[in-house]
Amino acid sequence: MDVMPQNGARGTRAGRSAAPVGARGSLDDDAGHDTGPAAGPGTSPGTAPDAGRDALPAAEDLGAPGAGPGIDPDDLPDGLLVADAHGRVVCFNAAAARITALSPADVLGRPVEQAMPLEDLEGRRWWALTQPYTGLAIRSGHPERNLLLPGGREVLVAARYVREHPTGPLRRLVVTLRGTEARRRTERSHAELIATVAHELRSPLTSVKGFTATLLAKWERFTEDQKKLMLETVDADADRVTRLIAELLDISRIDSGRLEVRRQPVDIATAVQRHVDAHVAAGQPGDRFRIEVSRPLPALWADPDKVDQVLGNLLENAVRHGDGTVTIEVAPSSAPREHRSTGTAVTVSDEGPGIPEESMSRVFTRFWRGSKRGGTGLGLYIVKGIVEAHGGTIAVGRAPGGGAEFRFILPVGAPAFLV
């Protein structure tokens, strides 16, 4: 497979344009010619061999198997820098120029250690440490590392050493470059998660510590009703901490794809009624809820604990952040053209202000909060992960009454051992 010739930010060499990658007259053909003194990575441009002689690397050396459509290095999403056997840069694609903010004219044809003067986080010159051309011949490269360019710009750098044979001299140095933006977003997300957890844990633990210390120090001074009230508060705050820890474990499992689903027969209508009864018992008026069940419902095999978690979160959101009547609809979900049941659909809607259109796409992300009325902003993220772990889907929209509407579908299906 041939790689297209480069121009501009591509693999053109000083002196004249490089031939297409894989074309005759490339590095392989030049190997038998006398080029004068070899220019290593530390050789100055004035003493280097003709920078225009060598073409770009052959396609097979870049890992392209066989013949096929041409590959332009500028099409690669990551930065690519290739240095020849003499240590001079012969390829510097557009992504590399964007990531490093270096001009291709200042890089192409120059010794790699001068064109890319990388340093590690301790200020040590990277090429002097790694010595790709003069170091141990058994090395095949180095893994991705966070390095610095002059001016402090951070770059993620990985390298591969291409040799004629395992312990032979270096034929080509292939370096990939990536920006650090994605890693920094991940680090910010982790930092935000830690800050949120610390904040959410501090309040209940402060309450638990305060009430227990007070009871231990002044037990005889309180009436039985006062003691009961404080112990109930401690119990509620302990439950809150337990829920938060469970959320963190769920997030970890969802992010790593290890969320386990233990499927059992689930009566979804009964589960909905149970959650509504719990809200009524907690003080919500009974006429605030309306349950609509369309029967017959298909047999649903799901994890009952996870289904309870989904229903509990959606109903809690509707009660806390919505207004008016909370409607829960349970009905079979059928394919539009097949007219057969494919799953069970549950819709939870309210008559509150709803979710702004511009926020719809962020509802199921971490830390999204529809209002400032408490919460970690993790519940809907976990709900989405649970539904998708079951092979289902969940969506948010605007209810007929103007409030928020959440609809999730759990597919029909039994565990593999029953099929």
pLDDT tens, position by position, 26-62: 333 333 333 333 334 333 333 333 433 344 444 344 4
**pLDDT of 182 strictly over 50:** yes
Question: Of the candidates 363, 331, 359, which has an alpha carbon nearest to the alpha carbon of residue 347?
Answer: 331
Helix (H, G, I), strand (E, B) or coil at 360: helix
Helix (H, G, I), strand (E, B) or coil at 347: strand
Q: How far apart are the first and last CA of the chain?
A: 46
What local confidence, expressed as pLDDT, does residue 153 receive?
86
Q: Which is it for strands 326-334 and 289-293: parallel, antiparallel or unpaired? A: parallel
d(CA 13, CA 92): 10
What local confidence, expressed as pLDDT, does residue 161 receive?
95
pLDDT tens, position by position, 279-329: 999 889 999 999 999 988 888 999 999 999 999 999 998 998 888 899 999
pTM score: 0.57
pLDDT tens, position by position, 321-355: 888 899 999 999 875 554 455 789 999 999 888 88
d(CA 398, CA 352): 10
pLDDT tens, position by position, 126-169: 999 999 999 898 999 989 988 998 888 889 999 999 998 888 89
Question: Of the candidates 86, 87, 83, 85, which has an alpha carbon nearest to the alpha carbon of residue 96?
Answer: 83
d(CA 375, CA 313): 11
Largest CA distance in the chain: 101
Higher pLDDT, 93 or 336: 93
Q: How does residue 243 score in pLDDT terms, banded at 50, 70 and 90?
A: confident
Higher pLDDT, 33 or 123: 123
